[in-house]
Chains A and B, each alone.
Chain A
């Protein structure tokens, strides 16, 4: 088993669909401090591509890891600044 990044907080967006996983992730990140890592747990399969695209296009965040489980998609996003 590969280890998951240490997380500061977990955001549960299971059952929610586009655009909620991205929008809620952004709102949760805004409430964190630089260096904090947010774990986002989603069931929206589109969140794999969407969170990646959002993290690439947004300053001050870095996508550390994405884990595709059985119907659950977990994303680890670090607030870098």
Chain B
């Protein structure tokens, strides 16, 4: 390093200052990235595993991904069944407790009624060309939605990690969910 001209000492000073400025810019850019409107983030907590309740999280997740949002869906309790390769194909609709069902609860509680209500719903889904749960899962994963399965409920329900669809993230818990929620513009509990 030369000291024979005033410019070189200025350069030296600038280099240190430049470095500090660069670090500050990096720091600010990363904090801006978190709040950037173009990079919205959504976290959904999916807790229900009935056929009707499996739809809203997947429809919102796949649509948000079409907006280029970063999307995380954290599945816990019965919501795990949506990600369970075998159970996802057999999600049921409850005939009981739904006043919109064309039958009284006393009848709806009889054996076979849930299966009938589920068949009716599946037929409507088919007739209406509504996407199936499996199609929505494939679509969501294809579009980069992160589908997470709560580790505590996996253990509680005695599921095996390889029973879930490929691409499902396991080994996550409430802290991970909270972290994503805190970073998100949209947080939903379904």
Q: For the complex, what is the distance from the CA of A19 to the CA of B65, rounded to whole Å?
A: 11
Interface 0/1 of B89-131, CB less than 8 Å to A: 0000000000000000000000000000000000000001111
Q: Write out, one digit per residue, whether chain B residues 134-153 have a CB within 8 A of any chain A CB (1) or not (0).
A: 00100100010000000000
Q: Are A15 and B129 in contact (CB under 8 A)?
A: yes
Are A23 and B129 in contact (CB-based, < 8 A)? no
- Bound CA span A59–B67, Å: 8
Query: Contact at B63–A17, with CB atoms within 8 Å?
Result: no
Docked Cα-Cα span, A16 to B66, in Å, equals 16
Closest to B61 in A: A19
Q: Indicate if B62 sits at the interface (CB-CB under 8 A).
A: yes
Residue B4 interfacial (CB < 8 Å): no
User: What's the nearest-Cβ distance from chain B to residue A59, in Å?
Assistant: 5
A26 contact set on B, CB distance < 8 A: 65-67, 143
Interface assignment of B68: CB less than 8 Å from any CB of chain A: yes
Chain A residue with the shortest CB-CB distance to B142: A27
Set of chain A residues within 8 Å of B128, measured between Cβ atoms: 17
Mask, A6-23, CB within 8 Å of B = 1, is 000000000111111011
Total interface residues on B, using CB and 8 Å? 15
In the bound complex, do residue B131 and residue A19 qualify as a contact, i.e. CB atoms below 8 Å apart?
yes
Report yes or no: B67 in contact with A17, Cβ–Cβ below 8 A: no
Inter-chain contact B68/A58, CB cutoff 8 Å: yes
By the criterion CB–CB under 8 Å, are B62 and A23 in contact? yes
Assess whether A16 is in contact with B129, with CB atoms less than 8 Å apart: yes
Distance in angstroms between the alpha carbons of A65 and B157 in the assembled complex: 51
- Chain B CB count within 10 A is highest, among A18, A19, A23, for A19
Q: How far is the CA of A54 from the CA of B64 in the complex (A)?
A: 9
30 A-B contact pairs sorted by A residue (CB < 8 Å): A15-B129, A16-B131, A17-B130, A17-B131, A18-B59, A18-B63, A19-B59, A19-B62, A19-B63, A19-B66, A19-B136, A20-B131, A22-B63, A23-B65, A23-B66, A23-B139, A23-B143, A25-B66, A26-B65, A26-B66, A26-B143, A27-B66, A27-B143, A54-B63, A54-B66, A57-B67, A58-B66, A58-B67, A58-B68, A59-B38
* A residues whose Cβ falls under 8 Å from a Cβ of B: 15-20, 22-23, 25-27, 54, 57-59
B-side interface residues toward A, CB under 8 Å? 38, 59, 62-63, 65-68, 128-131, 136, 139, 143
